């Protein structure tokens, strides 16, 4: 008997899921919502001894650069994309086969049926998967893309304020259709998990069932009118990341097919100086203390780690050459892959020898103080200590903050640097653990602020030292998502 295959691929940080569906016995699979680094899919197909015959997408993505076009070209697979983008703000302009509601694709026992589920975007499709060896009448799985998440729904505000209410109403209709037409036992496999900004309140599990979502997902409440549904959905949303429109535009025309990973070159200090003169930006991936103890003036800090893919597209300029600054000995290949996932392709390379080589070349260095929690507390106790700005989210700030701290989330700060005028006093920047505060410090330094101090370990270190704090909301609400 032929066996149906379903495999999930995950990109940590982006919390992105893509899927392989098909049948090893039939020697064929389809890939749904591939990311730009397509080697994983090619290796999977080789391992399973199958051919990738079809590539599908649920919608035009906003949070990552799609690999659909590249994967189709690399394998000869037919590229199947929604037909409902015609005449919309974002419309696919490269060759593909347009498909509509009810379209069927059969690979061995696996039958995929497209279901139009607009709301997150106008063109959004979900895919119902039938295992025909078990039942040709009842779908087993839904690849729900960014329509339905575990515990939440896709955000409807990616096309601007004028389209948001209409898309929210369409999402209401999509939810009602799914609730009426599909069985409780349907397994829901979404396009994202917890940590994605494509929805609010996503659950931590990668899979659910429609029956459980009917019970536990607040947007499936049958008592919700369309008006109340829209109000509830929009009230839960944080501001969308500013790079989303750029990413949708990129995916509409198709990201460039990369023959090799850019940025795998080592650059001498002399070459780095020349590139900087041409407008290149320094992206410093070292940790909080290393950055504070000495960095290239004007460098943007986004430390390597779990937050890299979340924050790099918020703060690194697009269409600008990038020079990576490292500790001089670490493998940066994973970071290069992350950058191209985000459409940040113009990576010139990394500084050969890291900051040690920059020191040795007698080039200018900028520093900022990194202060320990106990030392900061003693300064504040004098009554003439520095000002404090907390760049965490509303919820984090309300749970406990340093007395007298100003509050502006990093999301808001990164888009409104002029909103924080110099005070003439030293300014301490804090977050939860020191990651976001270092990003904020680098942005403020680039913007001309001086006397900046980064709290080592953030509020985690403050709490571990059992130092006093206040609770309660920010005086100026700043509703943003945690990252």
Residue 455 sits in a domain of what CATH number?
3.40.250.10
What's residue 383's pLDDT? 78
User: Is residue 24 domain-resident?
Assistant: yes
Structure-block tokens of residue 433: 């653990």
DSSP 204: S
Element (H, E) at 144: strand 141-145
Phi and psi dihedrals of 220, rounded to 5?
Answer: -95, 5
User: Is residue 166 domain-resident?
Assistant: yes
**Position of tokens 């919309």?**
88
Chain centroid, CA 194 distance in Å: 11
What's residue 423's pLDDT? 65
Q: At what angle do helices 333-341 and 308-315 cross, to 10 degrees?
A: 60
Largest distance between two CA atoms of the chain: 78
Whole-number Cα distances in Å, 427 to 59, 226, 390, 404 = 44, 47, 10, 12
User: Is residue 260 domain-resident?
Assistant: no
Same structural domain for residues 101 and 213?
yes
User: Can you give the pTM of this predicted structure?
Assistant: 0.91
What's residue 422's pLDDT? 66
What's residue 1's pLDDT? 60
Same structural domain for residues 74 and 25?
yes
456: Cα within 13 Å, side-chain hemisphere: 16
Same structural domain for residues 125 and 221?
yes
Dihedral angle at the C-alpha atoms of 95, 96, 101, 103, nearest 10 degrees? Answer: 150
Q: How far apart are CA 200 and CA 202, in angstroms?
A: 6
Q: Which of 254, 246, 244, 228 is nearest to 169 (CA)?
A: 228
Same structural domain for residues 240 and 304?
no
User: Is residue 258 domain-resident?
Assistant: no
Phi and psi dihedrals of 21, rounded to 5?
Answer: -130, 135
DSSP 317: P
User: Is residue 87 domain-resident?
Assistant: yes
Final residue in a domain of this structure, among 227, 253, 279: 253
Q: How far apart are CA 294 and CA 356, in angstroms?
A: 10
User: Is residue 479 domain-resident?
Assistant: no
DSSP 52: E
Same structural domain for residues 232 and 328?
no
Same structural domain for residues 63 and 210?
yes
Whole-number Cα distances in Å, 319 to 316, 322, 376 = 10, 9, 39
Q: Give the burial class of 291: count Cβ atoms within 10 A of its Cβ; 0-12 exposed, 13-18 middle, 19 or more buried.
A: buried
Would you say 30 and 112 are in contact if contact means Cβ atoms under 8 Å apart?
yes
Chain centroid, CA 137 distance in Å: 37
Same structural domain for residues 346 and 416?
no
Same structural domain for residues 271 and 248?
no
H helix intervals, 223-283:
226-235, 244-253, 269-277
> Helix (H, G, I), strand (E, B), or coil: what is residue 447?
coil
Structure-block tokens of residue 187: 């397994």
Structure-block tokens of residue 397: 């700030």
Q: How far apart are CA 226 and CA 223, in angstroms?
A: 10
Same structural domain for residues 71 and 137?
yes
What's residue 202's pLDDT? 79
What's residue 14's pLDDT? 85
User: Is residue 478 domain-resident?
Assistant: no
Q: Which of 366, 433, 16 is nearest to 191 (CA)?
A: 16
Q: Say which residues have a Cβ less than 8 Å from residue 197's Cβ, sequence separation at least 6.
A: 63, 155, 238, 240, 241, 310, 481, 483
* CATH code of 123's domain: 3.60.15.10
The three-state DSSP-derived secondary structure of 331-396 is CCHHHHHHHHHCCCCCEEEEECCHHHHHHHCCCCCECCEEECHHHHHHHHHCCCCCEEEECCCHHH
Q: Which domain holds residue 77?
A: 5-253
Could you say which residues of the chain have pLDDT below 50? 477-483
Q: Which of 125, 195, 120, 124 is nearest to 158 (CA)?
A: 120
Same structural domain for residues 113 and 194?
yes
What's residue 483's pLDDT? 36
Would you say 194 and 15 are in contact if contact means Cβ atoms under 8 Å apart?
yes
User: Is residue 472 domain-resident?
Assistant: no
Same structural domain for residues 330 and 437?
no
Whole-number Cα distances in Å, 430 to 274, 341, 389, 400, 455 = 34, 29, 6, 12, 5
Would you say 443 and 413 are in contact if contact means Cβ atoms under 8 Å apart?
yes
- Number of structural domains, the chain? 3
Final residue in a domain of this structure, among 219, 253, 287: 253
Final residue in a domain of this structure, among 304, 338, 360: 360
Same structural domain for residues 27 and 95?
yes
Whole-number Cα distances in Å, 450 to 299, 388, 425, 430, 442 = 15, 14, 9, 16, 11
């Amino acid at each position: 008997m032929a066996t149906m295959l379903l495999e999930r691929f995950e990109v940590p940080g982006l919390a992105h899921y893509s899927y392989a569906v098909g049948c090893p016995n039939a020697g064929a699979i389809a890939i749904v919502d591939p990311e730009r680094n397509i080697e994983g899919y090619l290796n999977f197909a080789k391992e399973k001894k199958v051919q990738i015959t079809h590539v599908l997408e649920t919608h035009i993505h906003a949070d990552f650069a799609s690999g659909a076009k590249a994967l189709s070209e690399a394998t000869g697979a037919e590229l199947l994309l929604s037909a409902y983008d015609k005449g919309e703000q974002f419309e696919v302009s490269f060759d593909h086969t347009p498909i509509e509601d009810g379209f069927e694709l059969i690979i061995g026992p696996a039958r995929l049926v497209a279901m139009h589920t607009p709301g997150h975007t106008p063109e959004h499709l979900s895919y119902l998967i039938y295992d025909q060896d078990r039942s040709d009448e009842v779908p087993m799985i839904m690849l729900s893309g960014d329509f339905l998440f575990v515990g939440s729904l896709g955000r409807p505000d990616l096309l601007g304020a004028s389209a948001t209410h209409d898309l929210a109403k369409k999402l209401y209709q999509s939810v009602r259709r799914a609730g009426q037409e599909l069985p409780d036992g349907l397994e829901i496999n979404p396009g994202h998990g917890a940590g994605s900004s494509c929805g609010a309140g996503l659950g931590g599990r990668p899979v659910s069932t429609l029956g459980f979502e009917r019970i536990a997902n607040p947007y499936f409440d049958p008592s919700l009118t369309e008006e109340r549904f829209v109000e509830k959905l929009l009230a839960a949303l944080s501001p969308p990341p500013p790079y989303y429109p750029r990413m949708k535009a990129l995916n509409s025309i198709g990201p460039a097919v990369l023959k090799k990973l850019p940025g795998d070159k080592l650059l001498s200090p002399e070459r780095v100086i020349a590139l900087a003169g041409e407008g290149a930006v320094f992206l410093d991936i070292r940790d909080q203390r290393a950055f504070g103890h000495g960095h290239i003036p004007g460098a943007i800090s986004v430390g390597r780690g779990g937050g890299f893919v979340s924050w790099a597209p918020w703060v690194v300029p697009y269409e600008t050459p990038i020079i990576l600054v490292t500790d001089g000995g670490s493998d940066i290949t994973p970071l290069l892959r992350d950058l191209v996932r985000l459409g940040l392709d113009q990576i010139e390379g990394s500084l050969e020898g890291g900051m040690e080589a920059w020191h040795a070349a007698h080039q200018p260095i900028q520093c900022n103080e990194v202060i320990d929690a106990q030392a900061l507390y003693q300064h504040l106790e004098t009554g003439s200590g520095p000002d404090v700005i907390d760049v965490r989210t509303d919820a984090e700030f309300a749970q406990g903050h340093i007395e007298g701290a100003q509050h502006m989330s990093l999301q808001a700060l990164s888009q409104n640097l002029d909103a924080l005028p110099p005070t003439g006093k030293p300014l301490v920047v804090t977050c939860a653990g020191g990651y976001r505060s270092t990003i904020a410090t680098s942005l403020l330094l680039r913007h001309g602020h001086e006397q900046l101090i980064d709290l080592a370990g953030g509020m985690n270190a403050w709490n571990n030292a059992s130092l006093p704090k206040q609770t309660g909301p920010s005086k100026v609400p700043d509703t943003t998502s945690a990252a």
